[in-house]
Amino acid sequence: MAKTYDKETAWTHHITIDKVVDMYECPDCGFEYNACQELDTDEGGYECPLCESLELEEENKRLRKALERAKRELSDDESVINCVRNAYYTVNQALKE
């Protein structure tokens, strides 16, 4: 999850543009975002949408890799199952003769 900054910390990075739009600058990446990004939690504070997006992209990559690994393992398991079935069939045929 992206780093969250409380209002006191965020205030140190506060700037006002044309005295109309309150903007905050993320101390980690420098991205400036509208103050309406305030978190709807008891603690309040602000969360950088760019940092959050980058973290979600990384999580998505990690999950895709895990999915591909699981698919390979499933394929390996299916190969083992097929070998066991073939051996079972061969043994059954030999016992019938």
Whole-number Å distance between alpha carbons of 25 and 37: 12
How do residues 48-61 score in pLDDT, each as one tens digit? 888 889 999 999 99
Rounding to the nearest 10 degrees, give the CA dihedral for residues 45, 49, 54, 56: 80
What would the two tokens of residue 40 be? 């709807």
pLDDT at 18: 46
Do 39 and 45 meet the contact criterion of CB atoms below 8 Å apart? yes
Which 3 state secondary structure label does DSSP give 46?
strand
What would the two tokens of residue 49 be? 């949408």
- How sure is the predictor about 6, in pLDDT bands with cuts at 50, 70 and 90? low
